[in-house]
């Protein structure tokens, strides 16, 4: 008989996986011996608080009796929400507070990320420092008053009173007890299990069975377990970065942020924009409880949508409470049938208008001098990719492209502080970016000059591997002023500016009103074509050259816009498009019926409703915008409409297609048609 070392590589791998799975299940059953037979039964999603814009960025959440406490990272306060839904400020004096948890004495423990400290709040709202040095980032164990943290985000309190801290940007899990701080697990940034464990940007933590800790290891896209002796093993996730429900070892996570355990031992995780659970059955399994796309939707829990959920806790009656950070709300998953769903009108009132947005800070260009007008190379809503006959690998452009030379310094256009713990993404790619709360900056070497040399600026945290830069992070709570360098342009040779909060992007031309920008050139409509329901072009014409409309038709307009000062080759998408029908000089339908608008970012599902076959735009090749102007695409709403001869009197008509730019210039093109039945 051959030994294991004699087996082929695939067989050895399979056998190793088998033993890992068996060990994982055994450890799970040991830890969850009190778990029930079923997972959490959440049938409905509802909104608990925040519909009047009370919160800036709700992040941490904790429950004490029938009261809910929420940290606000933008407004630097802790709120208390009463059972009737009313709320008030419970405590102030924080700098970007994150996770919160109550200890056995009723003190509220706060990870005050921006000040690099752990604080406590008594029942009078008085704040004191538990550990760390206010405003000083670093790493040091020892006496609590002398210890140093680096942007701590997660906290949990053990039954023995010990405070556990996810020291996020030190990539360690620390313990505060008996007046001192020690490192429980973790060393440098990376991934490793065992006694020499490594983490990557750990965020939420929670106490688990038999003295264990659960860690939402966001950068490693895994849920990790720390034993009481400091050894670490991976409970769920394979590090792939996608969302997939499976047994724990094969499940995939996007970016786990928060973790909590209910009374039955079921683990709930805030992951990316979704809420997920682990366990609850005879064998552990990872399930997604909400939709897997960003948004804001109450009602059926399975189709509910969230936008960077950051904190989770359980109410006294077992409801799952969630801080929906980028929606600015406290939400709930529940089995209750009387849960009130947020309405479309309430959602609309939550969103800032472009007028409100630009009133907050003056507009400026992302290059010096900040008041010198520049070219615009791309606007919100333009197609990126291509729509082919049998394929639609395309998406909406969600910002404003402002070109400049390779290596030019790009600058912040607004004073903001970082709130997303993973604000910098796609390091050393053409899509490298930093996402601030209101503005995003893409195609930039963040914190580096044209040669790749790092800025002498401690706000940019660089990692190295084998003597080379390998990644960059910027701590949650870090502030930048308008005009400060964000980095330098990479080979894309432009800044892609995103205006508006994630999930509520708006047209930057309207939201920023950049100095000196102008446009006196009306959009051009090159041609207008009609297609039937099967997308076959309708070319039959009468003796006068009129297109015969004898069945439902889509109207497709090839159109583009230009801006003053732009090169001839730069083709931009119009701001809005629509059509009208005229008969004998009289309007049959309301003139200038604007069916497609890029005032706000449309949902990504609407791409094939806006653009017809042959549409193409990107860094290379010809730009072609074929707009289906009979369809309706306005913000999150989109649906198909067609010209229907059954609703019109037979006769001769003029189909007039309109295209307008943001500055009010309107172009149109007339197409003679004849309606027949």
**pLDDT, tens digit, 9 for 90 and up, residues 209-223:** 999 999 999 999 999
Separation between Cα atoms, residue 221 and residue 238, nearest integer Å: 7
Those residues with Cβ within 8 angstroms of residue 21's Cβ, 6 or more apart along the chain or in another chain = 247, 249
pLDDT at 284: 84
pLDDT at 27: 47
- Summarize the confidence of residues 489-513 as an average pLDDT: 96
pLDDT band at 85; cut points 50, 70, 90: confident
Using DSSP, state whether 260 is helix, strand or coil.
strand
pLDDT band at 428; cut points 50, 70, 90: very high
pLDDT at 542: 80
Using CA atoms, how far residue 73 sits from 76, 135, 479, 546, 646, in Å, is 5, 16, 12, 62, 57
pLDDT at 592: 56
134: tokens are 């206010």
Q: What is 552-602 written as a DSSP string?
A: -BEEEEEEEB--TT--TT--B--SEEEEEEEETTEESS-SSEEEEE-SBPP
pLDDT at 533: 92
| Strand blocks (E) in 500-563 | 524-531, 547-549, 554-560
Work out the percent of the chain whose per-residue pLDDT is above 70.
Answer: 92
- Cα-Cα-Cα-Cα torsion 437, 443, 445, 446, nearest 10 degrees, comes to 0
**pLDDT, tens digit, 9 for 90 and up, residues 5-21:** 333 334 433 433 444 44
pLDDT at 59: 98
Using DSSP, state whether 326 is helix, strand or coil.
helix
**pLDDT, tens digit, 9 for 90 and up, residues 124-163:** 999 999 999 999 999 999 999 999 999 999 999 999 999 9
**pLDDT, tens digit, 9 for 90 and up, residues 604-653:** 999 999 999 999 987 667 899 999 999 999 988 999 999 999 999 999 99
Separation between Cα atoms, residue 35 and residue 41, nearest integer Å: 14
Residue listed under structure tokens 């709202």? 125
pLDDT at 608: 94
Is 669 in contact with 577 (CB distance < 8 Å)?
no
**pLDDT, tens digit, 9 for 90 and up, residues 22-53:** 444 544 444 444 334 455 679 999 999 999 99
Residues composing the chain: 677
pLDDT at 619: 67
- Summarize the confidence of residues 184-203 as an average pLDDT: 97
* pLDDT value at 593 more than 90: no
Displacement of CA 436 from its chain's centroid (Å): 11
Q: What is the sign, positive or negative, of the torsion defined by CA atoms of 371, 376, 382, 385?
A: negative
Is 484 in contact with 416 (CB distance < 8 Å)?
no
**pLDDT, tens digit, 9 for 90 and up, residues 172-185:** 999 999 999 999 99
- Quote the DSSP letter at residue 151: S
Question: Diameter of the chain by CA atoms?
Answer: 95
Q: Is 208 exposed, middle or buried (0-12, 13-18, 19+ CB in 10 A)?
A: buried
pLDDT band at 587; cut points 50, 70, 90: low
pLDDT band at 553; cut points 50, 70, 90: very high
Those residues with Cβ within 8 angstroms of residue 152's Cβ, 6 or more apart along the chain or in another chain = 98, 111, 112, 113, 116, 117, 118, 132, 165, 166, 167, 168, 174
pLDDT band at 109; cut points 50, 70, 90: very high
- What pairing do the DSSP bridges indicate for beta strands 593-597 and 632-634? parallel
| Strand blocks (E) in 254-305 | 256-261, 267-271, 274-278, 286-288, 299-300
Cβ-based neighbour number of residue 41 at 10 Å: 11
110: tokens are 């706060």
* pLDDT value at 531 more than 50: yes
pLDDT at 329: 98
pLDDT at 36: 40
pLDDT band at 111; cut points 50, 70, 90: very high
- Summarize the confidence of residues 185-190 as an average pLDDT: 97
pLDDT, the chain, mean: 92
Closest CA to 627 of 552, 522, 554, 521: 554
pLDDT at 381: 97
Q: What is 60-82 written as a DSSP string?
A: EEEEETTEEEEEETTTTEEEEE-
Separation between Cα atoms, residue 561 and residue 609, nearest integer Å: 20
**pLDDT, tens digit, 9 for 90 and up, residues 330-355:** 999 999 988 889 999 999 999 999 99
Closest CA to 158 of 206, 110, 223, 230: 206
* pLDDT value at 371 more than 60: yes
């Amino acid at each position: 008989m051959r030994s294991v070392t004699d087996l082929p590589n695939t067989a050895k791998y399979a056998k190793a996986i088998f033993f890992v799975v068996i060990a994982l299940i055994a450890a799970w059953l040991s830890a969850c011996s009190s778990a029930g037979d079923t997972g959490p039964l959440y049938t409905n999603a509802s909104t608990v608080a925040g519909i009047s814009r009370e919160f800036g960025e709700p992040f941490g959440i904790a429950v004490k009796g029938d009261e809910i406490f929420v940290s606000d990272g933008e407004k630097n306060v802790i709120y208390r929400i009463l059972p009737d839904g009313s709320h008030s400020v419970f405590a102030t004096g924080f700098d970007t507070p994150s996770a919160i948890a109550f200890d056995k004495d009723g003190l509220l423990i706060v990870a005050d990320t921006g000040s690099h400290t752990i604080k406590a709040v008594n029942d009078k709202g008085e704040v004191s420092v538990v550990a760390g040095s206010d405003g000083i980032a670093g790493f040091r164990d020892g006496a609590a008053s002398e210890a140093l943290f680096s942007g701590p985000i997660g906290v949990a309190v053990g039954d023995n009173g010990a405070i556990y801290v996810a020291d996020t940007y030190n990539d360690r899990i620390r313990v505060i007890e008996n007046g001192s701080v020690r490192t429980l697990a973790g060393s440098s940034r990376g991934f490793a299990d065992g006694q020499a464990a490594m983490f990557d940007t750990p965020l939420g933590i929670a106490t688990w069975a038999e003295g264990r800790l659960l860690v939402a290891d966001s950068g490693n896209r895994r849920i990790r377990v720390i034993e009481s002796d400091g050894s670490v093993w991976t409970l769920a996730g394979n590090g792939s970065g996608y969302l997939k429900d499976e047994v724990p070892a094969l499940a995939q996570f996007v970016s786990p942020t928060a973790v909590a355990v209910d009374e039955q031992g079921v683990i709930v995780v805030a992951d990316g924009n979704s809420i997920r659970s682990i366990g609850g059955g005879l064998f552990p399994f990872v399930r997604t409880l909400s939709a897997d796309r960003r948004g804001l939707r109450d009602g059926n829990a399975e189709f509910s949508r969230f936008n960077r959920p950051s904190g989770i806790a359980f109410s006294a009656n077992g409801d799952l409470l969630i801080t929906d950070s980028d929606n600015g709300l406290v939400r709930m998953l529940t089995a209750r049938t009387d849960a009130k769903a947020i309405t479309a009108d309430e959602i609309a009132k939550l969103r800032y208008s472009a007028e409100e947005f630009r009133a907050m800070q003056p507009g400026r260009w992302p290059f010096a001098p900040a008041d010198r007008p520049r070219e615009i190379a791309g606007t919100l809503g333009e197609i990126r990719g291509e729509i082919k006959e049998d394929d639609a690998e395309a998406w909406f452009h969600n910002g404003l492209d402002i070109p400049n030379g390779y290596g030019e310094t790009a600058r912040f256009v607004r004073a903001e502080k970082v709130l997303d713990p993973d604000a910098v993404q796609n390091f050393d790619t053409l899509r490298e970016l930093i996402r601030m709360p209101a503005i995003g900056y893409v195609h930039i070497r963040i914190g580096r000059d044209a040669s790749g040399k790092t800025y002498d600026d401690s706000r940019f945290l660089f990692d190295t591997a084998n003597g080379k830069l390998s990644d960059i992070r910027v701590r949650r709570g870090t502030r930048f002023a308008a005009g400060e360098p964000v980095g330098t342009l990479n080979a894309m040779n432009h800044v892609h500016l995103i205006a508006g909060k994630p999930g509520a992007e708006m047209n930057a031309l309207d939201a920023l009103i950049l100095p000196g920008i102008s446009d006196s050139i009306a959009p051009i409509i090159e041609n207008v074509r009609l297609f039937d329901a099967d997308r076959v072009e309708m070319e039959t014409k009468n003796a006068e050259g009129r297109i015969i409309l004898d069945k439902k038709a889509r109207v497709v307009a090839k159109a583009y816009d230009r801006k003053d000062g732009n090169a001839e080759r730069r083709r931009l998408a119009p701001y809005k498009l629509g059509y009208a029908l005229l008969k004998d000089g009289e309007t049959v339908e309301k003139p200038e019926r604007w069916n497609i608008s890029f005032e706000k970012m449309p949902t990504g599902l609407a791409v094939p409703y806006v653009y017809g076959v042959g549409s193409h735009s990107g860094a290379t090749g010809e730009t072609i915008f074929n707009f289906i102007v009979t369809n309706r695409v306005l913000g999150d709403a989109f649906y198909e409409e067609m010209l229907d001869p059954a609703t019109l009197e037979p006769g001769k008509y003029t189909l007039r297609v309109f295209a307008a730019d943001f500055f009010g210039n309107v172009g149109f093109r007339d197409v003679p048609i004849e309606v027949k039945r």
